[in-house]
Every structure is written in structure tokens, then in C-alpha cells.
Amino acid sequence: MKKLQYERPVIQRLNTGVMNKFGTRTEYAPVTHIEGNAVKDLIEKYGSPLFVISQRVIEQTYRDANRAFKTRYPKVQFAWSYKTNYMNAVCNVFHKMGSWGEVVSGFEYQKALNNGVPGNKIIFNGPDKTEEELKSAIQNNSMIHIDHLDELYLIKELATEMKARPKVAIRVNMDTGIYPMWDRFGFNYENGQAWDAINKIMLTDKIDLVGLHCHIGTFMLAPSAYGVAAAKLSDLALGIKKKFKKNIQYIDMGGGFASKNTLKGSYLQGQDTSPSFDQFAEAITTAILNAGFVEDELPLLILETGRALIDEAGSLLGTVISNKRLSDGRRATIMDFGVNVMFTSFWYDHKISPAQEFSQYTEDAVLYGPLCMNIDVIRENVTLPPLKRNDHVVVHTVGAYNMTQWMQFIALRPAIVLIDLDEKAHVIRKRETLSSIESEEMMPKHLKEFKL
């Protein structure tokens, strides 16, 4: 018989009264393995904390999304949103499956080029594109999504200067019935700014308007908003056709699809509330198909969804540093990872599972990170079995944004491992060392030596 594990005693208050309809919810099914790799072994080999990405989950999610759109619309193209996770290995998983690249800065643009994405399959978004970056994008025949008039004027000048005809789209913002309305990017649909920009482009021969772009928000829980956006963009495209006899080649619906994470303050679990790809696809494709395009002239539908494609493929493995009691008697557990590597814990109540067996007793706890900063809270309230020092936990659905928004603050950033389809682990980013932090640092000569 296996030796029973010691678990410290827990005092639990008995609740009287009616049970709520969900019962007492716990999250304590242990997750001992990820894609056939024992959590314990992974941590032993690659250190703790550790990001783990599952290639299988990425591919499956991508195929689900692809199927949802391609069975509803004839021409669909995904473009991998670099900012969501620009680990080159992750990007290449997407590129291998047919995704183009979508970047929002010069360095991301360079990254996409280095990964081997052809220039004409990179979409360059964002409000900040320098003259040099624009020049490079024009040279590579990339699709440049114009955010503001100053950028439009600059591109026009560059086109004349370079004797090239840049391919551009304009980003359009609009009221889709959701709050907050993202009106700081691109040109507004309702007040005519979008038409103003379109006219300015169409009346010059120097720029080729190939597409229309919008990105109505982030972590959208209402597919209907996409329906409204798609209808408005289609209306613009048909208007351009009518006014200038020009077919718009693509409509880019941006991203913003919600992943299965649970937003803070949400009553229900993200698993239950987040719309599926099919729901988004239905809203978008129905709007475009019913907009009145001739079948032959249906624009290509581009999707830049990032979060919904990668979030579930990422997990964060961590280790308990210590347990303590707070002044009000609540239990606190200190983990070796905090908001420094898990930026998204500011928005989500991440699902956290212990990585080893335990009994059925649970206790409410606060989960803290390792930083000596008061804000370093991972979960304000989580029901977990009692954890001991050196126990491991798995944080789920962390694939999006964490590996691009993490900070090197107090602690060094952990390694990232990708588990391939044969359940083999590959390090795709090494754990940082002191030298990786200091490699860009310079020391003025007069400060080099001192005596204490």
C-alpha cells in the first residue's frame, strides 16, 4: 500500500443554510502531467517557475478556428498576432499551419521577416511606425494598416520618394454597441473620418488601398459586436466599389476573441461564458455574406486573433515557497512566481491546480508571488488543498501575453518549454541569467571601481 501523504490539519467552518446551486466549488483535481511529461520532472530539469507550451493544443485550437471560418466563408486567412506571443518557435507553429504574420512594431516586423515570413504576408499594424520601418515595409510589399492621417501623409511622401506603390489598409473604429469603444485607433466610421481617409487615398494614385481593418476591442464576450463591425466594414467596401469602382481585396476583422480564462469579477467561469470560434465566425461571415457582395468579389477575410488561439496552450509551473497566516486569519501561500511573469493575473482569476495528489480537504487562501511588492497577488481568493513548501502547482491558460509582457523585476525570467506532438520537450527560451540582464549595460569608467 502506498504510504499516505502527510497533510496538516485544517479547521473549516461549517456553512449552514441552503447550498448555492453550484455547491462548494473547488479546483482541486491534481494536474500531475502536461502532455505526458511529469510536472515534477519538468521542474527538476528546467527549473521553477517554468512556462510550458503545448504544440498539440495550439494546432488543435488553430484547426478549430480555421474550420469554424472556412466552413462558413470561402476565403479566410489567419495572421498570427506577434504581440500575443512572439516566441519564434510559437510563431513558427502558426506559420507552419498557414498563418501570415501580424506585427505592431518595427522589432516585431523584423522578427517576422527573420522567421521567414515573406514580406507580402506581413500585416503592419499599430500607431507607431517610424519612417525607416515604413520604408522597409514598403520595400517588402507588406500590408500597412494606417492608423492616423500623419502616417497616411508620410506614406504618401515615401511612395513618391521610393517610386513604389505601397499596399495599405485603413484601420476603422466604430460603435459596435460595446463599452468601452476603442476610438483611439484608426479612423472613425460614424463621423466620416474613415471616408475622409479613403477619399484621400483613392484620390492619389500613389497608394493602393487593398483592405479595411478594424479591431473593436479585447476579450470580447459578445460575438454580435463583430457582426456589427463586419457589416460596417462591408458597407465601406461596397461604398468604395460604388464610388471608385475598386474592389477591396480584404477585410481584416482584427482580433479580440475571448479565451477560456475567467475575467476578474466574472460570476461564471470563462469556460462557460466565452463564445466559441463558431459563434464569432457565424456573426462575422453572416454579416459579410449578407452585405451584398457579388460571389466573385467577396473580399478575403483576415483574422488576427491571438489570445484565443494560444492562451490555452500555455501553462505555468511553479513551486510553493511558504505558507503563512494573515492578520485576519486567512491563509496565504507564497509562490515562486508572481505578477512579474504572470502579468495577466491583473485581469484574470487564473485556474490553478496542484500538481500532486492530496485529500479532499480544502481551504480558502490568498496566493502571493515572490516579489517584495504589495501588488504581487496572483489570486485574492482561491480554494486549494493545503500546500506544503516545495509542492508544485500548474497555472492554466497563460499562453497569451505573459511571455511578451513579463518583466524582469526583482527576479529573472523563467525558461519556456514547448512540448511537441510526440510529447518531447524542447527549450524554446532559456532561463535568464545575470549576464542576459547585464549584456546591454555599460559602465562609465569613473564608476568602475570603488572602495567600501
Of 73 and 82, which has the nearer Cβ to another protein? Answer: 73
Closer to another protein by Cβ: residue 175 or 278? 278
Q: Is 296 in the site for another protein (CB under 8 A)?
A: yes
Joined together, the cell numbers standing for residue 175 give 460603435
Which one of residues 147, 282, 349, 376 is an interface residue with another protein (CB under 8 A)?
282
Residue 418 burial (10 A CB sphere; 0-12, 13-18, 19+): buried
Binding segment toward another protein, per CB under 8 A, in 83-91, 178-186, 274-282, 339-347: 274-282
Beta carbon nearer to another protein, 63 or 426: 63
Q: Please give the residues from 342 up to 361 whose contact with another protein meets the rule CB under 8 A.
A: none
Among 120, 139, 390, 408, binds another protein (CB under 8 A): 120
Select from 278, 363, 423, 432 the one that contacts another protein (CB under 8 A): 278
Task: Identify the CA nearest to 211 among candidates 190, 229, 237, 238.
Answer: 237
Q: Which is nearer to another protein, 135 or 167 (CB)?
A: 167
DSSP-derived secondary structure letter, 346: G
Tell me the three cell numbers of residue 27: 479546483
Q: Which three cell numbers stand for residue 137?
A: 515595409
Which listed residue (104, 210, 233, 287) binds another protein by CB under 8 A? 210
Among 164, 181, 300, 332, contact with another protein (rule: CB under 8 A): 300
Total residues at interface with another protein (CB under 8 A): 29
Shortest Å, Cβ 73 to another protein: 6
> Which of 4/29 has CB closer to another protein?
29
Record the cell numbers describing residue 271, joined without a space.
469556460
Q: Which of 142, 173, 262, 285 binds another protein (CB under 8 A)?
A: 285
CA 46, distance to chain mean position in Å, is 24
Minimum distance of another protein from residue 199's CB (angstroms): 22
Q: Give whichever of 299 and 386 is closer to another protein, judged by the CB atom.
A: 299
CB 155, min distance to another protein, A: 18
Would you state the cell numbers that stand for residue 191, as one nine-digit string? 463621423
For residues 422 to 441, the per-residue mask of contacts with another protein, x marking binding by CB under 8 A and - elsewhere, is: --------------------
Q: Answer yes or no: are the C-beta atoms of 400 and 314 closer than 8 Å.
A: yes
Q: How far is Cα 112 from Cα 123, in angstroms, rounded to an integer?
A: 10
Restricted to residues 7-46, the positions that interact with another protein (CB under 8 A) are none
Q: Which is nearer to another protein, 64 or 363 (CB)?
A: 64
Query: What dihedral do alpha carbons 202, 204, 207, 213 form, nearest 10°?
Result: -30
Residue with Cβ nearer another protein (68 or 320):
68
User: Between residues 66 and 319, which has the closer beta carbon with respect to another protein?
Assistant: 66
Cβ nearer to another protein, comparing 81 with 402: 81
**Span from 38-46, 170-178, 287-295, 365-373 in contact with another protein (CB under 8 A):** 287-295
Residues 6+ apart with CB under 8 A from 180: 217
Say whether residue 331 binds another protein (CB under 8 A): no
Position 148 contacts another protein (CB under 8 A) = no
**Torsion 237-239-240-246 (CA) sign:** positive
Alpha helices in 102-220 (DSSP H): 106-114, 131-139, 149-162, 193-202
Residue 250: partners with Cβ closer than 8 Å, 6 or more residues away: 77, 169, 210, 211, 212, 299, 300, 301, 302
87 backbone dihedrals φ, ψ, rounded to 5°: -60, 130
CA distance 307 to 312: 9
- CA pair distance 231, 290, nearest whole angstrom: 8
Among residues 5, 114, 130, 290, which is the contact residue for another protein, using CB under 8 A?
290
Q: Which is nearer to another protein, 132 or 272 (CB)?
A: 272
**Cell output for 450:** 570603488
Residue with cell 521542474: 43
Cis preceding linkage at 275, omega within 30: no
Q: 45-84: which residues touch another protein (CB under 8 A)?
A: 60, 63-64, 67-68, 70-75, 77
Choices 181-189, 195-203, 257-265, 291-299; region in contact with another protein by CB under 8 A:
291-299
Q: What is the DSSP string of 260-308?
A: S--BTT-SS-HHHHSPPHHHHHHHHHHHHHTTT--GGGPPEEEE---HH
Q: What is the footprint of another protein within residues 226-265 (CB under 8 A)? A: 249-250
Alpha-carbon distance of 276 to 259, in angstroms, equals 9
Could you tell me the smallest distance in angstroms from the CB atom of residue 79 to another protein? 11
Least Cβ distance, residue 281 to another protein (angstroms): 9
Angle in degrees, CA 66, 68, 71, rounded to 5: 95
The residues binding another protein (CB under 8 A) are 60, 63-64, 67-68, 70-75, 77, 120-121, 167, 210, 249-250, 276, 278, 282, 285-286, 289-290, 295-297, 300
